[in-house]
């Protein structure tokens, strides 16, 4: 039996023995769905994109720059589908083994995979919000208008500029998801980190909050994180491939 299979069994054993498990996910859980992350050397978006495009100040100055970039990324995001790691978390929640998913991602893939309790710390790119009247629109409909030449897209109710309902640089996190995430973390007896390098504030303080509350810590990430030495289990593996093994172990256990 391979080392990674052994770790999949250990992972399922730890999750199955917990009563209040919570997961934090980052960009690494969605790269295997075809969505590029921001920091990976050679492939990260920040290596080929001006960060001011996704700053609040930059958007106010010239929203057309963002939407010109968004046209390039739209087909990638629209075609992305959940991978085994998303489905693993949905399966654990469905079996009452996971209280919720806290995510730094804005792609909506957790919900598409079937997760119900999802707390989006950075908002969602599946919606747009009017900067004038706060009306919410579906981003698919907005982007079709942009592709047809309406740049920037305007609110159909008041004519205000539409902005993706995701957190840009210079914006504060949405209060309710963050407060609920802190509450879940403080109550957790197991904290899972999946696909996050734990470099982005304030989400990167959540493992410390969990540890201080006495929770176990499991980290599944391709590269090391600052909390590896504090974790009960560290799995440095592609999260989708590992999740496939973990799902097999879990389904074989519940079928016995």
Catalytic sites, residue numbers: 122
245, 248, 222: which is closest to 30 by C-alpha?
222
For residues 195 and 180, give the distance between their C-alpha atoms in angstroms, rounded to a whole number. 21
- Give residue 54's region: left, alpha or beta (phi > 0; psi -120 to 50): alpha
Give the chain's length: 256
**Non-local CB neighbours of 124 within 8 Å, separated by 6+ positions:** 106, 107, 108, 165, 166
In a 13 Å sphere around the CA of 209, the CA atoms on its Cβ side amount to 18
> Which whole-number Å values give the CA distances from 113 to 36, 86, 97, 147, 209, in the listed order?
19, 6, 16, 28, 27
| Alpha-carbon 182 to chain mean position | 16
Q: How many CB atoms lie within 10 A of CB 83?
A: 22
**Do residues 98 and 92 lie in contact, with contact meaning Cβ atoms separated by under 8 Å?**
yes
**Do residues 131 and 111 lie in contact, with contact meaning Cβ atoms separated by under 8 Å?**
no
Most distant CA pair in the chain, distance: 62
DSSP letter, residue 62: -
């Amino acid at each position: 039996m391979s080392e990674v299979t052994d770790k999949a069994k250990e992972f399922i054993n730890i999750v199955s023995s917990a009563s209040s498990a919570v997961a934090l996910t980052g960009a690494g859980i969605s790269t295997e769905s075809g969505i590029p992350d921001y920091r990976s050397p050679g492939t990260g978006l920040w290596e080929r994109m001006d960060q001011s495009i996704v700053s609040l100040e930059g958007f106010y100055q010239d929203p057309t720059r963002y939407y010109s970039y968004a046209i390039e990324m739209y087909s990638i995001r629209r075609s992305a589908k959940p991978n085994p790691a998303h489905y693993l978390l949905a399966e654990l929640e469905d079996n009452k083994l996971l209280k919720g998913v806290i995510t730094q991602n804005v792609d909506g893939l957790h919900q598409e995979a079937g997760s119900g309790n999802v707390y989006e710390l950075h908002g969602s790119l599946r919606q747009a919000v009017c900067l004038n009247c706060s009306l919410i629109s579906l981003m698919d409909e907005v982007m079709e208008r942009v592709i047809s030449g309406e740049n920037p897209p305007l609110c159909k109710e008041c004519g205000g500029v539409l902005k993706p309902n995701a957190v840009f640089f210079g914006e504060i996190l949405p209060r309710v998801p963050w407060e609920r995430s802190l509450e879940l973390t403080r109550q957790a007896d197991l904290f899972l980190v999946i696909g996050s390098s734990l470099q982005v504030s304030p989400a990167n303080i959540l493992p410390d909050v969990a540890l201080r509350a006495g929770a176990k810590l499991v980290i599944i990430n391709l590269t090391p994180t600052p909390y590896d030495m504090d974790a009960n289990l560290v799995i440095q593996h592609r999260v989708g491939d590992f999740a496939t093994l973990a799902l097999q172990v879990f389904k074989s256990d519940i079928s016995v």
